[in-house]
C-alpha cells in the first residue's frame, strides 16, 4: 500500500479525522492502530486511507468510503467503539471529525 489511497471515480465520501495526541500515555496506542487498520480494510464500503502525524502529535487521517451508511456502520463497529472510547479518555487531547462528499478529483499523475 502506497501513501495515496486508490479511490474510484467520484462521487464517494471522505472522513477527515484531525487530532492532537496527548503527551502523557501512549500505552496500547500502536497496537490498537494496527488492529483498527486490519479491521477497517475488511469493512464493506471502505475504499482506502491516507494518514500523517508530525513530531508534536498533530495528525490527519482521511478514510474513503462508498456511502454514508458504510461510514455509520464503521463508527458503530464494536471494536472501533472501544478504540474511540480509549482515544477520548487517554490518547487524544483534541480531535475533530469531518465527513465530506467527494465530487471530483484530479492529480498530477494517475494514481
* All three cell numbers of 56: 508534536
Give me the pLDDT at residue 27, please.
83
Say whether pLDDT at 2 is over 80. Answer: no
At residue 65 the predicted structure's pLDDT band, cuts being 50, 70 and 90, is very high
Q: Which DSSP letter does residue 107 get?
A: -
The whole-number average pLDDT for the span 38-46 is: 97
Give me the pLDDT at residue 26, please.
76
Determine if the pTM surpasses 0.95: no
* All three cell numbers of 25: 500515555
The whole-number average pLDDT for the span 40-67 is: 96
Give me the pLDDT at residue 1, please.
60
Give me the pLDDT at residue 22, please.
93
* All three cell numbers of 40: 477497517
* Dist CA 28 CA 105 (whole Å): 36
Q: Average model confidence (pLDDT) for the chain?
A: 94
* Dist CA 50 CA 61 (whole Å): 6
Whether the Cβ atoms of residue 93 and residue 22 lie closer than 8 Å to each other: yes
Amino acid at each position: 500500500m502506497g501513501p495515496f489511497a486508490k479511490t474510484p471515480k467520484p462521487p464517494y465520501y471522505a472522513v477527515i479525522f484531525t487530532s492532537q495526541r496527548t503527551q502523557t500515555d501512549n500505552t496500547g496506542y500502536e497496537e490498537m492502530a494496527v488492529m483498527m487498520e486490519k479491521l477497517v480494510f475488511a469493512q464493506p464500503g471502505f475504499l482506502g486511507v491516507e494518514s500523517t502525524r508530525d513530531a508534536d502529535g498533530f495528525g490527519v487521517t482521511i478514510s474513503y468510503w462508498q456511502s454514508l451508511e458504510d461510514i455509520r456502520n464503521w463508527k458503530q463497529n464494536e471494536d472501533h467503539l472501544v478504540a474511540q472510547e480509549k482515544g477520548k479518555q487517554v490518547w487524544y487531547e483534541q480531535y475533530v471529525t469531518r465527513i465530506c462528499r467527494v465530487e471530483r478529483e484530479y492529480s498530477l499523475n494517475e494514481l
